[in-house]
Amino acid sequence: MDQNLLIAIDGPAASGKGTLARRLADHFNLPHLDTGLLYRAVARALIDSRTPLDDAAAATAAARGLKLTTFDPVRLKETGVGDAASKVAAIPSVREALLRLQKDFVQQPGGAVLDGRDTGTVIAPDADVKIFIEAAAEVRAERRFRELTAKGENARYEDVLATIKGRDARDSSRSVAPLRPAKDAVLLDTTHLDIEAAFRAALSIVEAARAGRERR
Ligand code: DC
């Protein structure tokens, strides 16, 4: 690729932003960072050491000790870790401790794709393309429910929906870096789109932004 391309994708829980970010990263041959894994790793460390999730000092120490290379995405994606991550993510000193790692990722030559809650607003405010993924909570819960049952987990749709709504509320109402679209983000509603259609839509948003940049 001849140009730097930095793509920031944000959105609520189970919106499919991670899948889209990975697909875009593969398509453009760019490194990808799922920033949710950082918060999940902090939560996992507290869960494993039986530390309460509101212990700000312990959560901040765990955040400071994180290295991107030691992540185990399978354990970090286990049920319950996302909700716990949403709790530690509301602690300002945890966010502060994770900022440098993410900012460094953004600086890589060639560009990168990041997905999360604040990548377009805080981590990469100068990104070339910002996409904010939306989808009805019921549809996101249905997708997550199917994923869990496919993995053999004994999930109830009502519980999955309640957890998703709880995370939406917590992630959107916290004082630091709340979940919200950047002013210059393009909104992509995937409520009625399957993953292929969502990928094509995301790709055209990126291509339109690149074409606009070349015209300037
Ligand atoms: O995207 P995810 O489900 O893996 O994220 C888990 C939690 O981490 C999410 O509910 C809130 C938090 N998070 C955040 O606050 N900021 C980010 N950039 C990414 C995730």
Which one of 171, 173, 175 would you pick to mutate in the ligand 1 pocket, going by the greatest count of ligand atoms within 8 A of its CB? 171
Bridge partners (DSSP) of residue 131 are 9, 186
Contact (CB, 8 A) for 28 and 5: yes
Cα end-to-end distance, the chain, whole Å = 19
Tokens of 216: 């300037």
Q: Is 116 in the pocket of ligand 1 (CB under 6 A)?
A: yes
Strand spans (E) along the chain = 5-10, 32-34, 111-116, 129-134, 186-189
**Would you write out the chain's pLDDT as a tens digit for each of its 216 residues?**
457 999 999 999 999 999 999 999 999 999 999 999 999 999 999 999 999 999 999 999 999 999 887 788 888 988 889 999 999 999 999 999 999 999 999 999 999 999 999 999 999 999 999 999 999 999 999 999 999 999 898 999 999 999 999 999 999 999 999 999 999 999 999 999 999 999 999 999 999 998 887 776
Q: Which residue's C-alpha comes closest to atom 16 of ligand 1?
A: 117
Q: pTM for the whole thing?
A: 0.94
The sheet with strand 186-189 has its strands ordered as 32-34, 111-116, 5-10, 129-134, 186-189
Q: Is 115 in the pocket of ligand 1 (CB under 6 A)?
A: no
Contact (CB, 8 A) for 172 and 179: yes
Residue with tokens 């999360």: 116
Long-range CB contacts (within 8 A, 24+) of 160-165? 161/137, 163/82, 163/83, 164/12, 164/13, 164/14, 164/137, 164/140, 165/137
Tell me the CA–centroid distance for residue 28 and ligand 1, in Å.
24
Q: Is 120 in the pocket of ligand 1 (CB under 6 A)?
A: no
